[in-house]
Structure 1
Amino acid sequence: MAAILGMAAIGAWAVTTERISYVTTHGVSMNPVYYQGDLVFVVKANSYHVGQIVAYHGDVPGQRVLHRIIGGSGSAGFAMKGDNNESVDPLTPTTEEMIGRAVLHVPHGGIWLKPLLSPTGLGMFSFLIFTGGATAARTRREIPRGRRKKKVKAMSSGQSGSWATATAVLKAVERLSPPLRAAAAVAAVLTVLALASGVLGWMKPVVEQQAAASTPSQSITYSYSAKVPKSAAYDGTTVGPPDPIFRKLAERATLNARYEGPAGAFALTATLTNGTGWHTTQTLVSKTFFSGTRFDATVPLDFPALVARADDASRAIGAAPSGAVMVVLNARVESVGLGSLTAPLQLAVSPLQANITSGSNLTTKAGATAAAEVTVARKIKIFGLSLMTASKARSNAILLLIGAIVIAAVVLFAALRRMPVRTRAEIERRYPQLLVHVEPMASPPGKPVVSVDNFPALVKLAERYGQMILTWRRPDADDFVVRDEGITYRYRVPLDEPTLHNVEMINRPSSGAHREPADSPVF
């Protein structure tokens, strides 16, 4: 009993921790090792090696791939391939991403398992478990062929048939030891959980279509301004985009980069080049974290200083200074869950002017995509709480059902051994070594006759006194007798009323028997 309960505890632990799972094969990728419809149980391991057949999650939600490891490592990812495939799998799962390695193969097991674990199959199994109808055929009363009329009469009784059997099974379970009753309760609970998991897992497909959340909009917009004296070159005293800045009128400008969107971190750099292959990058705004939906960065642009830096580099490499420089501005924003948004802007600075190059955009936008449907693994929710995926519910239904069947079979076997015997055939099948068939005989004169309420009590008496059980047939009953020290102990099975007898064991005659008059004959 301890082993059974231990197995149940181990099974519950394996299910909840996902240490044991299963795969139903489809296709021909693993021929000739596995074929279509096979059932393969897998166990999660701490490490895997080349040559093992393992299961891992595919790129489709709920999909499980069962292929062989042909290379790679657990940290970098294994190379996988079906034995009957020519190409290697595109996915390279790591040790943490593995479902488990194959340990048990049931040919065509997935074919019969699918209808068994459908909501209808699980419902039928639960009905049989709780009503005891599955044992009706085994425990029905056997009546001789010559007594068909009495058989019809017996079957019309309210205590006959499957209901009587169910009642007998339940009573037998009640008389089991506390550990066996606990095991029966565990089997019932596992069956209910398997039924619930099976219904929730199979009532809909393992995947479903959901509307993908729209990506929040993001934008980075550049602007610049420079103060210039009043002249014929400009209409005013301030220059802004897209007008060029003539250096004779303004050698400095103010650059502004404005970000709008979710909070994150902002950085701004400038890369200088002079056409000789030389380049350098300067940090204008170091990485700055911000909250809110807007961030502004303002930096000064000193054109003579930028040109001087490029000319110094030209002289250092032996090239003639050009007095010009190309400035590539690059603003970068990193937001949680959205990745990075970069916005480049090219600014050409020549001895005459500083202006934005052709093709450069002052505004860079991202996000604001329309909501679309995506395929995701269907999750089972109760009162808004997400419990597990439908694929996991199906796995749990199978494992819980297997555990319930194993425990229920053990408990049912123990209960059947303690069920009352109701016919001669049952008694002869269960206690053939104690029976001696004799001709009908009368009880000794002047000796008492004790009627025993149940046959197991008569067996206890026979074993106590070291006697065999004498038996013979009467027109209306079957008699079973034990004689010792002048007392006759009798158990009688009527042929016309197949009633159930109490199965309580007795340790002394007074607890399970009653005396009859001494002159009562036994035939």
Structure 2
Amino acid sequence: MAAILGMAAIGAWALMTERIAYVVTSGISMNPVYYQNDLVIVMKADSYHVGQIAAYHGDVPGQRVLHRIIGGSGSAGFVLKGDNNESIDPKTPTTEEMIGRAVLHIPKGGTWLKPFLGPSGIGMLSFLVISGGAATAARNRREIPRGRRKKKVKAMSRQGGSLETAAAVFKTVQRLPPALRGGAYLAAAFLALAVLLGVLGWMKPVVETREVAAPPRQSLTYSYSAKVPKSAAYDGTTVSSPEPIFRRLTNNVDLVTRYEGPPGTFDLSARLTNGTGWHTTIQLVDEVAFTGSSYEATAKFDLKALVARADAASTAIGTSSSGSVSVALSARVVSQGRATLSAPLTIEVTPVQMVLGGNSKLTTESAGSAGTTVVPREIGILGLTAAQARSYAILSLIAAGALAAIVFLIARRAMPLRTRAQIERRYPQLLVHVEPMASPPGKPIVNVDNFPALVKLAEKYGQMILTWRREDSDDFVVRDEGITYRYRVPLDRPELLDIEHQNRPATAGSHRRKASSPVS
């Protein structure tokens, strides 16, 4: 029992800390190493290397992928691939994200494991625990003498019903010593907890589909402005988008990019081309992280410098310069849980002016839409997921079974021994079978109330227990210093029991005189 409890404790610790897990294979990705419904035990490791078969969590909640490591590293992420797959896995888990490496393979083990994980699994385990107690009771009934059994059956037939049975069990538990009674109550509590968690965990799947609200709106808006001298070209001294900017008046432009939406990172780049096939990219704003619901960045444009850069490229490749350049702006925002928001904008710079390119929009939006997602099912009243409830149900059932077994074994050792068979099973090493012996004349005989007391006397005096069978009883005797200590068990033969019942003395005094008579 100590070994079983130790193994159960180690297994419970391993499962709770996720040091050990299992994978039931599905599909053909790992043929011919693993096949459909194989059971693979995996163990958490501090490091992994190329060639090992390891498991990691898939994109779907509760999914476990078991493939071989073919590259990568623990910090940057491992590259995995099924032996029977042509492509590598899209996910690259790190060492911390790994479930564990394969340590044990049980072909078709998942076939017999699945019933225990199904809706009826917890109920079957509970039935086995309860039926074990019923089997013990049936075995005890077989040890009762036939005459007594008939009387007991008649008494039980008058009780009938589950309520009476429950009351009888409760009374039996009430008669146990306080420590055992507390253990029995604790085992019942664990069993009730296992049933509760099992019902809540298995009544529905471990995952559920939930409605997802529309994500927050995102927008990127460009605007530009320039200071110009007072002239007939403009009504004022400031030019703003989307008006063209005439280069004869100014070549300096301020480009402002404003973002509205969830926080994240922002960067802005510009790609220059001049129609000759040449291009180059300029980073206007390096990637920067920001908090809050808005962010604004300003980049200064020197139109003369941009055209000069394009003209220099034309001279280098041996083509004539047109004095024009096309600027393709690209602002990007990356927010957690959202797709990257990119906002393109084309600006054409000619020798005369700067204008927006055709079909260019100053504002780019991403409103998003409501949808659904698959998430682990949660049990609101307990604050657990369904998968956790299932694990705790199994652990509670193991604890209930272990406690019940301990209480039963200890209580059974404390039960009074009423038959020779029970005594021989319990103390075979102390018994010596002899022919019936007469007690020495004039020597006292002490009748012992129970057999354990006789065992203590035998151990005290260093004697074996002598036993023989008489016509009406089994005698167990310890002799020391002229005193005979005797424990007598009526012989379990119904005809003798009936005779004994008919010839029983009418008074307690005569009964005592008969019990204290010398052995003949």
TM-score by length of 2: 0.74
Alpha-carbon distance between aligned partners in 2 of 1:128 and 1:365, rounded to the nearest angstrom? 66
Q: 2:425 aligns with which of 422, 426, 429?
A: 429
Which digits, 9 at most, give the CA deviation of each residue in 1:341-374, with x for residues without a partner?
Answer: 33221111112332111122211112x2122111
Bigger shift: 441-450 or 257-266?
441-450
Separation (CA, whole Å) in 1 of partners of 2:197 and 2:374: 22
**1:391 equivalent in alignment to 2:387:** yes
Percent identity over the alignment? 57
8 Å contact from structure 2 (residues 82, 88) kept in 1:
yes
In structure 2, what is the equivalent of residue 303 of structure 1?
A: 303
**Cα distance 1:74–1:393, how it changes in 2: closer, same or farther (>3 A)?**
farther
Q: 2:448 aligns with which of 448, 452, 473?
A: 452
Task: Output the CA distance in 2 between the equivalents of 1:150 and 1:259.
Answer: 90
8 Å CA contact 2:184, 2:404 repeated in 1? yes
Residue in structure 2 matching 1:110, options 113, 124, 140: 113
5 Å-filtered alignment, 1:5-20, equals 7=7, 9-20=9-20
Is residue 41 of structure 1 aligned with residue 41 of structure 2?
yes
The C-alpha deviation readout for 1:128-177, integer Å capped at 9, x for no partner, is 68xx545312333524557764454575799x99987887788778688x
Asked whether the equivalents of residues 211 and 374 of structure 1 are also in contact (C-alpha less than 8 Å), the reply is yes
Displacement after TM superposition at 1:221 (Å): 1.6
**3-state SS in 2 of match to 1:373:** strand
> What is the DSSP-based 3-state SS (H/G/I as helix, E as strand, rest coil) of the residue aligned with 1:223?
strand
Distance 1:35 1:474 in 2: 68
- In structure 2, do the counterparts of structure 1 residues 27 and 321 end up closer, same or farther at CA, with 3 Å as the change threshold? closer
In structure 1, what is the equivalent of residue 198 of structure 2?
198
Q: Within 5 Å, which residues of 2 pair with 1:205-284?
A: 205-225=205-225, 227=228, 231=232, 240-248=240-248, 251-282=251-282, 284=284
**3-state secondary structure, aligned to 1:21:** strand
Range 93-102 or range 346-355, more displaced: 93-102
Aligned mates of 2:186, 2:139 — CA distance in 1: 24
**Residue 77 of structure 1 aligns to a residue in which SS?**
strand
Query: 1:398–1:224: structure 2 CA closer, same or farther, 3 Å change rule?
Result: same
| SS of the residue 2:222 aligns to | strand
Instruction: Quickly say closer, same or farther: Cα 1:343–1:207, change in 2 above 3 A.
Output: same
Contact 2:79–2:88 (CA<8 Å) still a contact in 1?
A: no
Q: CA deviation at 1:446?
A: 4.6
Amino acid paired to 1:98: M
Matched, 1:492 2:488: yes
Question: Residue type of the partner of 1:120?
Answer: G
Greater displacement, 203-212 / 120-129? 120-129
1:140 aligns to what SS in structure 2? Answer: helix
Equivalences, count? 490
Q: In the TM superposition, what is the alpha-carbon distance from 1:519 to its structure 2 partner?
A: 5.6
Judge conservation of contact 1:445–1:519 (CA < 8 Å) in 2.
no
- Partner residue in 2 for 1:372: 371
Instruction: Give, in angstroms, the shift of residue 393 of structure 1.
Output: 4.0
The answer to whether 1:520 aligns with 2:520 is no
Q: Any conservation in 2 of the 1:272–1:279 contact (CA below 8 Å)?
A: yes
SS at match of 2:60: coil
2:320 alignment partner, SS class: coil
Equivalent residue letter for 2:467: L
Whole-angstrom CA distance in 1 between matches of 2:59 and 2:405: 40
Amino acid at match of 2:113: G
Q: Deviations over 1:469-498 (max 9, x none)?
A: 3343555x65434344443323234579x9
Q: Which moved more, 1:354-363 or 1:53-62?
A: 53-62
Paired amino acid for 1:46: D
Partner Cα separation in structure 2 for residue 427 and residue 71 of structure 1: 65
Cα distance change of structure 1 residues 400 and 438 upon mapping to structure 2, 3 Å threshold: same
What residue in structure 1 maps to residue 330 of structure 2? 330
Cα offset, 1:194, TM superposition: 4.9
Query: Are the equivalent residues in 2 in contact too, given 1:220–1:260 (CA < 8 A)?
Result: yes
Gaps of 5+ in 1: 499-514
In structure 2, do the counterparts of structure 1 residues 39 and 305 end up closer, same or farther at CA, with 3 Å as the change threshold? closer
Post-superposition offset of 1:19: 0.9
State the alpha-carbon separation in 2 of the partners of residues 31 and 279 from structure 1: 50
Distance 1:471 1:163 in 2: 40
Say whether 1:138 aligns with 2:139: yes
Q: Name the counterpart of 1:469.
A: 466
Deviations 1:401-441 (A, max 9, x none): 557656765665555444432223322333456153655x8
Write the distance in 2 (CA, Å) between the matches of 1:307 and 1:205: 64
Change (3 A) 1:72 1:395: farther
Question: More deviation in 454-463 or 141-150?
Answer: 141-150
Matched-pair contact (CA < 8 Å) for 1:169–1:419: no
Residue of structure 2 in register with 1:509 after alignment = none
Structure 1 residue 332: Cα displacement: 3.4
Q: Which amino acid counterpart does residue 308 of structure 2 have in structure 1? A: A
Matches of residues 402-421 of structure 1 in structure 2 within 5 Å?
Answer: 405=401, 409=405, 412-413=408-409, 415-421=411-417
Structure 1 residues 47, 240: closer, same or farther in 2, change over 3 A?
Answer: closer
Q: TM-score, normalised by structure 1?
A: 0.73
Q: What code does the residue aligned with 2:368 have? A: T
